[in-house]
């Protein structure tokens, strides 16, 4: 959080300034000559000089030399309104907040919400997130990685702010006997809690990766479904739009209106979505980007023909006419839920997705700049140090990035952990995968002092990384 004052709505004698008119103003001679980087003052036509700053101060104080009191200036000449800049999303070193399994290594960061056993079918966990894992007590929202471990049957998890009604949305879709995790951007509810519902019995893990401070951005909303291609009694969107239009064909692109729907501002710059592919007809992927721009070489969700339903979070820049474009390689049904939005002037800064890491050595599988490309599979129990700052539209001084990280055909079940390279690897995971699958997940990643992130893999695998948005240190208004 940083504080500063932005000057707006300047008036003279109660009358607003008129653009294009000429005004004569009094200013000290230091500033009039362009001092303190006020270069514009030196370029304008100066009127008559009436003395130096020191002479003016002496004239003002002169009556006090004869014992005459000097009346102080009025205190209502300048009104300071909203002098606190909105805080931006902040990355954290990942910390485990929920671990239902019982075992010596199955621990949380503070021993709370640990080893309480499997969550029953149809039950809801009220998880305290505020005041834990470096999340402030007054945080508006948290960036989580939420996993279902060995559920009894296919189902889903839904996450929402406690104290609100459970929405018609899902965050994690799973099979029976699966291990799957998905990032979730969750508004913090009553008593600093988020609620997590499970359709089927399962173990759960939850890691926190970031937060939005009070009155910060992105602005969280209660999850709302914006896209539902299936045509069923319960297959509805929040407003009846983009509902029941049927499966998207292979190689097709859907233009989805997101602005001014589900609590999103009409002029929002970006949205945080959870996007799912349901019963895809073949192996493939989804790519999401701002309509009006070319489709990038990136993927947001990777799926197999054997998937019943698979989803991932996306930070998507909004394009022409308030739309995001969704391309699918194979025929599939699609769902999309909105969890937050970035207002005008908010943060993070959304980018057209760009590939930063591609370990596969295959023609056409390129990174944005040819770096970190085709270097071969990552060995088991090893770590990739990935340069992020200064690539794919990320500023050199960036502090945080939102990346989509994927494990491609790993040799065995395992996980990936993403963390700043100048810190120890945390007890957390970002991508949980079975063997011989393609699994990706959204990660809010803190950069180290050299602009890098480290990616640890438990087992041998190919890895892909696409950058979606970035946050740089906030510079206060002058």
pLDDT digits (tens, 9 = 90+) for 78-123: 555 544 445 678 888 889 999 999 999 999 999 999 999 999 999 9
**What's the pLDDT at 34?**
74
Mean pLDDT, rounded, for 22-44? 71
Reading the block at residue 268, the tokens are: 């929002």
Instruction: State pLDDT tens for residues 327-385.
Output: 999 999 999 999 999 998 888 888 889 999 999 999 989 999 999 999 999 999 999 99
Say if residue 294's pLDDT is above 90. Answer: yes
| Residue 35 backbone dihedrals phi, psi, to 5 degrees | -65, 160
Angle at alpha carbon of residue 263, lines to 262 and 265, rounded to 5°: 120
Q: Smallest Cα–Cα separation from 406: which of 290, 264, 271, 310?
A: 310
Residue 191, Ramachandran bin (φ over 0: left; ψ between -120 and 50: alpha; else beta): left
Q: What is the dihedral of CA 195, 143, 276, 219, to 10 degrees?
A: 90
Reading the block at residue 111, the tokens are: 């021993």
**What's the pLDDT at 366?**
95
Q: Smallest Cα–Cα separation from 442: which of 267, 186, 64?
A: 186
Find the DSSP H helices in 329-425: none
pTM (2 d.p.): 0.74
Q: Smallest Cα–Cα separation from 463: which of 393, 414, 394?
A: 414
Q: Smallest Cα–Cα separation from 258: which of 249, 267, 246, 248?
A: 267
Report how far residue 112's alpha carbon sits from residue 100's, in angstroms, rounded to the nearest whole number: 10
**What's the pLDDT at 21?**
79
Mean pLDDT, rounded, for 423-450? 92
Say if residue 416's pLDDT is above 90. Answer: yes
Say if residue 389's pLDDT is above 80. Answer: yes
Residues 6+ apart with CB under 8 A from 58: none
- How long, in residues, is the chain? 478
DSSP state of 192: G
Q: How many CA atoms lie within 13 A of 459 on its CB side?
A: 17
DSSP state of 238: S
Q: Smallest Cα–Cα separation from 332: which of 248, 229, 255, 251?
A: 248
CB atoms within 10 A of CB 244: 13
Q: Identify each DSSP E strand in 213-266 by its residue range.
A: 219-228, 253-257
**What's the pLDDT at 18?**
80
- Label the pairing between strands 193-198 and 155-161: antiparallel
Helical (H) or strand (E) element with 275: strand 270-278
Report how far residue 8's alpha carbon sits from residue 112's, in angstroms, rounded to the nearest whole number: 48
Reading the block at residue 233, the tokens are: 């009694």
Can you say how many angstroms the Cα of residue 263 is from the centroid of all Cα atoms in its chain? Answer: 17
The band of 473, judged by pLDDT with boundaries at 50, 70 and 90, is low
Helical (H) or strand (E) element with 40: helix 39-43
**What's the pLDDT at 70?**
77
Judge residue 304's burial from the number of C-beta atoms within 10 Å of its C-beta, 0-12 exposed, 13-18 middle, 19 or more buried. Answer: middle
Q: Which residues of 329-366 are buried (b: 16+ CB within 10 A; e: fewer)?
A: bbbbbbbbbbbbbbbeebbbbbbbbbbbbbbbeeeebe
Asked whether the beta carbons of 225 and 289 are under 8 A apart, the reply is: no
The band of 426, judged by pLDDT with boundaries at 50, 70 and 90, is very high
Angle at alpha carbon of residue 228, lines to 224 and 234, rounded to 5°: 80
The band of 54, judged by pLDDT with boundaries at 50, 70 and 90, is confident
Asked whether the beta carbons of 271 and 340 are under 8 A apart, the reply is: yes
| CA distance from start to end of the chain | 16
The band of 307, judged by pLDDT with boundaries at 50, 70 and 90, is confident
Helix (H, G, I), strand (E, B) or coil at 62: helix
Reading the block at residue 77, the tokens are: 């000449």
């Amino acid at each position: 959080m940083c504080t500063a004052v932005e000057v707006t709505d300047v008036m003279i004698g109660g009358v607003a300034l008129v653009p294009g008119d000429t005004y004569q103003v009094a200013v000290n001679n230091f500033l009039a000559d362009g001092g303190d980087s006020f270069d514009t003052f030196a370029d304008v036509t100066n009127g008559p000089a009436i003395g130096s700053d020191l002479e003016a101060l002496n004239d003002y104080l002169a009556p006090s030399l004869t014992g005459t009191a000097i009346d102080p200036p009025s205190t209502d000449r300048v009104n300071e309104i909203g002098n606190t800049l909105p805080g931006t999303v902040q990355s954290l070193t990942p910390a485990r907040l929920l671990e239902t399994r019982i075992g010596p290594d199955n621990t949380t960061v503070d021993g709370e919400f640990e080893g309480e056993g499997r969550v029953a079918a149809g039950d809801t966990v009220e998880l305290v997130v505020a005041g834990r894992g470096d999340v402030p007590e007054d945080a508006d929202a948290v960036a989580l990685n939420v996993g279902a471990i060995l559920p009894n049957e296919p189902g889903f998890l839904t996450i929402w702010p406690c104290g609100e009604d459970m929405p018609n949305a899902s965050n994690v879709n799973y099979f029976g006997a699966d291990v799957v995790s998905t990032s979730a951007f969750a508004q913090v509810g009553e008593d600093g809690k988020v609620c997590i519902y499970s359709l089927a019995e399962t173990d759960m893990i939850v890691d926190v990766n970031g937060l939005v401070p009070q009155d910060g951005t992105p602005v969280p909303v209660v999850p709302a479904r914006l896209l539902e291609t299936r045509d069923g009694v319960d297959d509805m969107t929040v407003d009846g739009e983009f509902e029941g239009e049927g499966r998207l064909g292979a190689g097709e692109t859907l233009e989805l209106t997101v602005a001014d729907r589900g609590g999103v501002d009409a002029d929002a710059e970006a949205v945080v979505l959870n996007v799912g592919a349901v019963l895809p007809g073949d192996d493939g992927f989804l790519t999401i980007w701002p309509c009006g721009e070319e489709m990038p070489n990136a993927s947001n969700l990777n799926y197999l023909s054997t998937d019943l339903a698979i989803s991932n979070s996306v930070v998507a820049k909004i394009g022409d006419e308030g739309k995001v474009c969704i391309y699918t390689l194979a025929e599939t049904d699609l769902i999309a839920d909105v969890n937050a939005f970035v207002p005008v002037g908010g943060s993070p800064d959304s980018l057209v997705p760009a590939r930063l890491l591609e370990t596969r050595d295959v023609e056409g599988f390129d990174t944005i700049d040819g770096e970190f490309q085709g270097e071969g599979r990552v060995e088991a129990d090893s770590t990739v140090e990935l340069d992020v700052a200064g690539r794919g539209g990320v500023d050199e001084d960036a502090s945080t990035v939102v990346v989509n990280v994927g494990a491609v055909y790993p040799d065995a079940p395992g996980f990936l952990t993403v963390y700043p390279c100048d810190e120890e690897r945390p007890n957390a995971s970002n991508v949980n995968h079975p063997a011989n699958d393609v699994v990706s997940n959204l990660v809010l990643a803190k950069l180290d002092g050299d602009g890098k992130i480290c990616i640890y893999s438990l087992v041998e695998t190919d890895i892909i990384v696409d950058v979606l948005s970035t946050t740089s240190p906030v510079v206060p208004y002058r």
